[in-house]
A and B are shown apart, each in its own frame.
Chain A
Amino acid sequence: MSALLKTVNLERTFGAVTAATDINVELNSGEIVGVIGSNGAGKTTFINMVTGYIQPSGGDILVRGESIIGKSPREVSLAGVGRSFQVAQLFQELTVLDNMLIAFGFSVDRKLSFLNPLRSAEKIEKAQAVLREYEIEQYTDEVVSTLPQGVRKLLDIAMAMLSNPGLMLLDEPTSGVAIEDKFTLMDTVMAAVRKSDAATMFVEHDMEVVLRYADRVLAFYDGRVLADGPTQKVLSDPKVQELVVGHHLDLSDSAPATTKESGHA
């Protein structure tokens, strides 16, 4: 059986700058991988390549054994790859409900109906169920641009998860979210991800978040994968601590990576 995601010698240059090189990563269903690295280390470039937003300069990306090189974001998303964004990408001037209904229409129903009302009772019920699951139901009728960053991030992820993508890439899900809300947000998201059994990658700067939710860590440094392995092992690697984390990590009193902390839920 081929891996869900496999990249082969993936490379991307911008003019004279090499943003990513020599990236060989494999990912299987159910895995939850934290992606770490300082700014400019190649994390977002990697995610952008895997989701078709930018094309690699060299190498190959295989999703379920099939190359996605040359495919547009739309085609990649139809191949079962979902993503969320560092800055939530939403329909800003529409309500949360309308955002969700449009997302349902395009990613689940996949039928561009011309005359059936979008806001039918049945569709609204379905959308609200999802909003409930992500704990943002109270914002149903609010216009997105008026909402706090954390809510937008959740909505962004909820919309991307609707089609049950086999592979989900979260680009800094907790950036811009208040420290005290980070774990609540991640608990909600991880619960949804685990339920769907998607392979998940999330880019994260906060090592506590990585420690708590990732089974495995990819550490990027200078456009390369510096380390790839179980969370504890990678984070205790002195090279990773020096070049990526920037300080010594004390791993002894952290919760084991795979168990979900209930205190914040």
Chain B
Amino acid sequence: MKTKSLALLFILGLAILAGGLLLPQWMSYLFTIAMGKGLVVLGLVLLMRAGLVSFGQGLYYCVGAYVAGMLTQFAEVTDILLILLASISVSVVIAAIIGLLLCRYREIFFAMFSMAFSMILYGLLVRMQVLGSTDGFNVANPSLLGWAPGPEGASDLVLAVAVFLVVSLGILAWRYLNSLSGYAGEAVRENEIRLEYLGGSVFKVVYVKYIIAAALAAIGGTVTALVSGHVDPEMAYWTTSGEFVFIALMGGTAHVAAPIIAAVLFEALRTYAFAVAPYTWQMILGFALLAIILFMPSGLWSLVERFQNKKARKTT
């Protein structure tokens, strides 16, 4: 069963890559954006499994994007691997500092403080003329190990890297969730007192998860920045983080593939809704959110599970 879902993930990755390369430009663009957001949401899901909802993942999403933008524009570093390395390092350092304060909090306080921290970044960025203030600035095309594919091939390169990241990080996350560290999240959610009396450090568990989630969000931000060729402070605005929460709830926390699939669905839905009725997109989201909370508390993945259960009943 578990190897099967792992294989499923792998095939899914290949299919998306093949599909993305064959599809028209605008669709593969959306796919890549969805992969980026899916990675952010994957991190958010790690936190949610520990009972923590962050309304501030936009902070690291934005950090990852700005690191990519600044490196390509101001330092003339375009190598995608170096950029990823840099954005991971920067986000981990920031998360390690903010986490010291934030990881003492739970529930609504965790949610709102994480939001406040992302708003600090937003507040700083809109005032920074050097970085284009509210308009942001453009990101140059990336290269890989000296190979610079130019404007046409750059988006394909980012897509390939994004799919590779999604599959490999997805597998890592899947193994992580099945390890003691992964289960420690559920332990924190269910009973912190018990965990402390077992000799486990609740703070450490939450802190590590927070940092991992930050790194994933930064990677997602980098991918988004590189494929869209533009960054702006909106990425740190709390409504961006709210969108991630929405995608996470939509997919559910039961499986590492759920956030990625949910992100793809979300982007497709958004493109469609924007074209049909531009002023009702948020309203649609709002009603969908209510519907999910009321009728599908474990997200879309619960449909998959329902299907599996049905199948299991038939075979026995």
Contact = CB atoms under 8 A, between A and B. Distances in A.
Contact of B183 (A78, A90, A92, A118): A118
B222 to A, nearest CB: 23
Interface in B188-213: 190-191, 193-201, 204-205, 208
B176 interface: yes
Interface residues of B, number: 26
A159 B199 contact: no
A74 B194 contact: no
Contacts of A117: 175, 178-179
B63 interface: no
A5 to B, nearest CB: 17
A82 B180 CA distance: 21
Contact of A74 (B181, B182, B187, B197): B197
B197 A83 contact: yes
Contact of A92 (B178, B191, B195): B191
Given A91-B191, A92-B190, A93-B190, A102 B183 contact: yes
B184 interface: yes
Contacts of A105: 180, 183-184
B267 interface: no
Nearest to A114: B181
B203 to A, nearest CB: 9
Given A102-B184, A114-B179, A91 B194 contact: yes
B186 interface: yes
Contacts of B208: 112
Contacts of A111: 180
A159 B190 contact: no
A102 B187 contact: yes
B230 to A, nearest CB: 35
A196 interface: no
A150 interface: no
A90 B187 CA distance: 9
Q: Report, as a range, how many residues of chain A touch the other chain.
A: 35 or more
Contacts of A51: 197
Given A91-B186, A115-B176, A77 B181 contact: no
B149 to A, nearest CB: 34
B196 A74 contact: yes
A74 B176 contact: no
B239 to A, nearest CB: 31
A11 to B, nearest CB: 24
A115 B175 contact: yes
Dominant secondary structure of chain B at its interface with chain A: helix
Given A91-B186, A92-B190, A112-B184, A106 B179 contact: no
A9 B300 CA distance: 59
A51 B193 CA distance: 12
Contact of B178 (A73, A94, A109, A119): A119
Contacts of B178: 117-119
A84 to B, nearest CB: 9
A101 interface: yes
A75 B195 CA distance: 12
Interface in A60-94: 72-74, 77-78, 82-83, 89-94
Contacts of A106: 180, 184, 187, 195, 198-200
Contact of B190 (A78, A83, A94, A114): A94
Interface centre among B180, B182, B183, B208 (most CB of A within 10 A): B180
A98 interface: yes
Contacts of B187: 91, 94, 102, 106
A110 interface: yes
Given A77-B199, A103-B198, A107-B199, A112 B191 contact: no
A116 B179 contact: yes
Given A72-B196, A106-B199, A106-B200, A118 B190 contact: no
Interface string B265-285: 000000000000000000000
A70 to B, nearest CB: 15
B179 A74 contact: no
Nearest to A144: B190
B197 A73 contact: yes
Contacts of B184: 102, 105-106, 112
A89 B186 contact: no
Interface in B204-239: 204-205, 208
Contacts of B194: 89-91, 159
Contacts of A73: 193, 196-197
Contacts of A116: 179-180
Contacts of B199: 74, 77-78, 106-107, 110, 163
B180 A118 contact: yes
Nearest to A81: B197
A160 interface: yes
A92 B180 CA distance: 17
Contacts of A159: 194, 198
Contacts of B181: 112-114
Nearest to B208: A112
B6 to A, nearest CB: 12
Contacts of A102: 180, 183-184, 187, 195, 198
14 contacts: A73-B193, A73-B196, A78-B199, A89-B197, A92-B190, A94-B187, A98-B186, A107-B198, A112-B180, A113-B181, A114-B176, A117-B178, A118-B178, A159-B198
